[in-house]
Amino acid sequence: MLNTFDILETIRMIQDECLDIRTITMGISLLDCIDPDIDKACAKVYNKITTKAARLVEVGEQIEKEYGIPIVNKRISVTPIAMLAAACPDADPVQFALTLQKAADTCRVNFLGGYSALVHKGFSAGDLALIKSIPQALSLTNNVCSSVNIGSTRSGINMDAAALMGQIILESAKITADRQCIGPAKLVVFCNAVEDNPFMAGAFHGVGEPDCEIHVGVSGPGVVRSAVEKYPDASIDEIADVIKKTAFKITRMGQLVGARASRMLDVPFGIVDLSLAPTPAVGDSVAHILEGMGLEQCGTHGTTAALALLNDAVKKGGVMASSNVGGLSGAFIPVSEDQGMIDAAVAGTLCLEKLEAMTAVCSVGLDMIVVPGDITAETLSAIIADEAAIGMVNNKTTAVRLIPAVGLQEGEMLEFGGLLGSGPVMPINRKSPAKFIARGGRIPAPMHSIKN
Amino acid sequence: MRAVITVIGKDTVGILHKVSGICAGHNVNVIEVTQSVLQDMFAMIMLVDISGIKGDFSALSDEMTALGKNEGLAIHCMHEDIFNSMHRI
């Protein structure tokens, strides 16, 4: 029997603590759309996406009403486009990006991810052409997201790709300088990318996935913060327990919504990504959870330990709530999308080096960080390499989504609006890594990659 | 199939009547009601049977939200599954 306390708790979580389903993401394989004629390939891509995802938004809206829970985004992820581009070597891959945008518009989804290439060991046909077309593709589309995997624990780090991605990020910022440098906000550079990630901008549909499936990404930093704040004097073990219980409840809701969407769309249920994804809304901040644990401001000493505890407890609580856990699963720390992180960065408490340390214990990496517009491509590449090294050695996914703010200096703010928020331009180390980056080649995989 | 309707807001004459009126209009049977009035705040939780619902659930939900807007009340209609999955193992 339902009890009043439980009912009111759920309603409070949704109304006051910003609990929501961040996204239902439909993963669609485009492997059957490969064609040497790019026009034919694009037509197949458009038809497949708009057929499979025709009812995605409608079903999402129906579930929102049925359960009274907001589903903030409906998204699509597709097979890395580099695989399709490989079949048409003479064509411009941007045509695929435009097709994806058209399909996203038809399906009315918020984002479509998969303008991607996986080059962690080297470039195959199509990869280089696709990567070089990324700035153009992101400039000409609004909802298409791009990602490139440049390293993995098994294969090491492709330093040629890291060097190239520094240039691509910079170029992408420059050609979208008139639009808050929005280009690189839709571009993620990964190490150990996952194939079933429902979150943008890094979502793509891996080749090991089924033809079509539904993933769910939950979000509830506000709920966790409010639960933690109820125990101001509890020990750390008790805090871990509180977070686990809260994460369980949040994830159960994700499981319910995912299962329902999968039934309604007649598509297999992929995974629930148990993530704490912040938004710029008041009370929906991961930094505030850490501060709720007793740090004066996020970024001070103790932040990495608090984040490690949070990330682990979220997984432990969530893993029992869903039979199919996947994606990135953990706490996200995007700076511009999190009011607590923004405040800490503006105050100077949170710096790039601390964020880098935090990425060793959270679910992703350096995310939505605004850097000075005069940053060099080599410095960007070096930041990418550092972050990939953390991912490679620690057997975890790391990502880099940096936005060079063209024309802005340290301390100024870059405003995106919406879910992307706004970010202060953060100071970077100005000493040059250019020689190291220019060497190229591959960082060998670590010893523990040899597991068999 | 059951759903939970919660109504929270300032107490006025006829809230229960209006909410249950909408339920009847959609062929939704009220199974259980708990309500309390604390000073002038009205809080009601209603468990309803939606197996025989006419039309779809979102129409009921929309009508309740509209009523809430007119009367200055917070009205939520939610399928009971969400509470069961969140609070039961």
Give, rounded to a whole angstrom, the gap between the first and last alpha carbons of chain B: 19
Count CB atoms within 10 A of the CB of residue A211: 15
Q: What value does the mean pLDDT take over residues A39-45?
A: 96
With CA atoms as reference, the chain B residue closest to A10 would be B83
- For the domain that residue B43 is a member of, what is the CATH number? 3.30.70.260
Which of A56-65, A297-306, A315-324 bottoms out in mean pLDDT, i.e. has the lowest?
A: A315-324
pLDDT exceeds 80 at position A57:
yes
With CA atoms as reference, the chain A residue closest to B8 would be A8
- In the structure encoding, which two tokens stand for residue A253, read together? 């809701």
Query: What is the pLDDT confidence band of residue A27, given thresholds at 50, 70 and 90?
Result: very high
**Chain B residues within an 8 Å CB radius of A65:** 57-58, 61-62, 77
Which residue from B34, B57, B82 is facing A10, i.e. has the nearest CB?
Answer: B82
Q: A384 with A189: CB under 8 angstroms? A: yes
pLDDT exceeds 80 at position A53:
yes
Task: Name the residue among A318, A327, A216, A221 with its Cα closest to residue A277.
Answer: A221
pLDDT exceeds 70 at position A233:
yes
Percent of chain A with pLDDT over 70: 100
Beta carbons of A68 and B87 less than 8 Å apart: no
Min Cα distance B14 → chain A (Å) is 22
Give, rounded to a whole angstrom, the gap between the first and last alpha carbons of chain A: 50
Distance between CA atoms of residues A185 and A146, nearest Å: 10
Asked whether the domain spanning A217-441 has the same topology as the one spanning A28-191, the reply is yes
Q: A331 with A363: CB under 8 angstroms? A: yes
Q: Mean pLDDT over all residues of chain A?
A: 93
pLDDT exceeds 70 at position A352:
yes
- Which H or E run includes A352? helix A352-359
pLDDT of residue A395: 93
pLDDT exceeds 90 at position A348:
yes
pLDDT digits 0-9 by tens, A80-89: 999 999 999 9
Beta carbons of B85 and A8 less than 8 Å apart: no
CB contacts < 8 A (A, B): 63
This model of the complex carries an ipTM of 0.83
Distance between CA atoms of residues A105 and A107, nearest Å: 5
pLDDT exceeds 90 at position A16:
no
pLDDT digits 0-9 by tens, A378-391: 999 999 999 999 99
**Domain housing B53:** 2-87
Domain spanning A28-191, CATH class: alpha beta
For chain A, which residues make up each domain, given as ranges?
28-191, 217-441
Query: What is the pLDDT confidence band of residue B58, given thresholds at 50, 70 and 90?
Result: confident
pLDDT of residue A294: 94
- Which H or E run includes A41? helix A38-52
Q: Give the dihedral sign, CA A206/A209/A210/A215.
A: negative
HEC secondary structure over chain B: CEEEEEEEEECCCCHHHHHHHHHHHCCCEEEEEEEEEECCEEEEEEEEECCCCCCCHHHHHHHHHHHHHHHCEEEEEEEHHHHHHHHCC
- In the structure encoding, which two tokens stand for residue B34, read together? 């708990």
pLDDT of residue A199: 92
pLDDT of residue A296: 96
Dihedral of the alpha carbons of B31, B36, B41, B43, in degrees to the nearest 10: -30
In degrees, to the nearest 5, what angle opens at C-alpha A180 toward C-alphas A174 and A182? Answer: 70
- In the structure encoding, which two tokens stand for residue A262, read together? 């999968």
Q: What value does the mean pLDDT take over residues A446-452?
A: 89
Q: What value does the mean pLDDT take over residues A433-445?
A: 96
pLDDT digits 0-9 by tens, B1-43: 899 999 988 888 888 899 999 999 999 999 999 888 877 788 8
Question: Which CATH code is given to the segment(s) A217-441?
Answer: 3.20.70.20
pLDDT exceeds 80 at position A350:
yes
Distance between CA atoms of residues A87 and A94, nearest Å: 14
Which of A190-194, A404-408, B52-56 bottoms out in mean pLDDT, i.e. has the lowest?
A: B52-56
For A142-151, give one letter per residue: b (16+ CB within 10 A) or e: ebbbbbbbbb
Distance between CA atoms of residues A163 and A193, nearest Å: 18
A66 inside 8 A of chain B by CB = yes
Beta carbons of A7 and B45 less than 8 Å apart: yes
Q: What value does the mean pLDDT take over residues A351-371?
A: 94
Length of chain A: 452
**Chain B residues within an 8 Å CB radius of A67:** 78-79, 81-82
pLDDT of residue A12: 86
A67 inside 8 A of chain B by CB = yes
Percent of chain A with pLDDT over 90: 83
CA A411 to chain centre: 25
Count CB atoms within 10 A of the CB of residue A430: 10
**Chain A residues within an 8 Å CB radius of B74:** 15
**Chain B residues within an 8 Å CB radius of A2:** 4, 47, 80, 83-84, 87
Query: What is the pLDDT confidence band of residue A1, given thresholds at 50, 70 and 90?
Result: low
Q: Which three-class secondary structure state does DSSP give residue A272?
A: strand
Total structural domains within chain B: 1
With CA atoms as reference, the chain A residue closest to B62 would be A65
pLDDT of residue A358: 96
Can you list the positions of beta strands (E) in A318-364?
330-331
